[in-house]
Structure 1
């Protein structure tokens, strides 16, 4: 094996490891948020001035003296710090990916075989994520910062996955594939639209969570009581809220939380209908197994995600189901990106036919 081949193999392994770690970090972030541990450590990047969590009576006494406005809760603090440890490890791996990509680019002098802009973009987003993690603490869980941090995590995951797909692409044959679906060309655009719709729905879910509106509606299919009269869009989606000492446990009135929750539910209906239509139509029209499989995975994950969303309401937001709802949302996005990528490759093959 040549040195160049070894470098490519190392890069692929780094990307795959980072991809798996990014999923873990998203899960840990959801767990931290749902256990109300976002302010488990009142400072950043340390925890009460320590690299670990104050646990001994002496450490706790010193911590409470240094941060009199906070009560030391070791369990919550560990939830937050474990998330930071994993996120920091992911940042180091992504820095290594950027370094390896630049090194490989210089060695091969080929932008096709050694993408470098995408790794540098991912590194930039991770640096921004670190800043958002700090602001999440210093701005006391301001909803827009919490939402931006969540979306940044999803963006990191998706770009890592796109890089993984690019590194493992076999390329397009000059003669094209034997089974090319000409009629699927337009559905690559619909898949990109689906990514946009799903991104908006994930953002609505993040806004629901960061404003503690997940249990503002406890009945199905829509909401309890005269929910239409409770809707108030005036301040429900204000990105800059009134200044508060802390935004933990929310700052909005009940009717505003109901508005956010109902918006998320209607968004789920729109997203579910569109993605189900896309997956079914592509599955029925596709000739290649790769595209059919991608459509089937998308539809399966969509069914699981809707079931988890209903379960969150039905069982009053159990921790395991709520965390799974976040993780499956990430997997749903990855499956949609896979479908879009397959359809786009199919369009390229059509061009070369």
Structure 2
């Protein structure tokens, strides 16, 4: 079982983090032989900071110490309850503590998850959401977003066959947009390895072992559709700027269309941090471009990133489809 320490004196730890980050930002950053900031290494973007902001916070982007303490402490209390010993006398189907809390219906219990245990701090600011623009911290969908996620005419239904199952379930690409772009944290394995040369930057996501190759100072490949899009980068002073278009039509990023463009900025601000900024644009789906900021934290040099071993046609897939056929048979012959 994981050993997690309860976050105490949150304000003090936050202040220490701010001081250390500011001090490191004044140091000379690691650079490659061609003089560019060295982005190489293994990084994690796990954080308790959500993508979209709690609507009760409105346009409040920066949290105060009490809010940080409540969010981090609340998560720790949740974990402690999840890790508590189960009631051996509970009724079948009941939760771990005997109540109907639904935890037995969860495909993963908390032991397998790793969402981070801290609110991210960028530019000295504890953030209430990853999204910084629009000011309300929400994705600015144009119209009803459900229309963008509806099944396309003629496309297989979820249980018609393997082709109808989600891409992540088929181990073709990670769930959410963890592999990117934009590269967002998910419930576990929020690790990336960056390898950099003068002409290429490769970002390997642990989830599904997705590797994205960014060509430096190149042109987009016309009519090229890739799972993670076609990424071309260039350096603006010490910031790597990457533009991605040409996503595979089956990989819908927040319901976006073929008009999607994602622009990313990688700025190494200290020896242990990269500030990752992304802007999502698709005028046919979003009422305006929207931007997020995320902190990538360096992992220890002696901590390798292990392969996430996933394979298409995993053991659950035949069971899912067999169950669907059984349900159809029972409906046809009640």
TM-score relative to the length of structure 1: 0.30
Q: Which has the higher helix share?
A: 1
- TM normalised by structure 2 equals 0.31
Greater strand share, structure number? 2
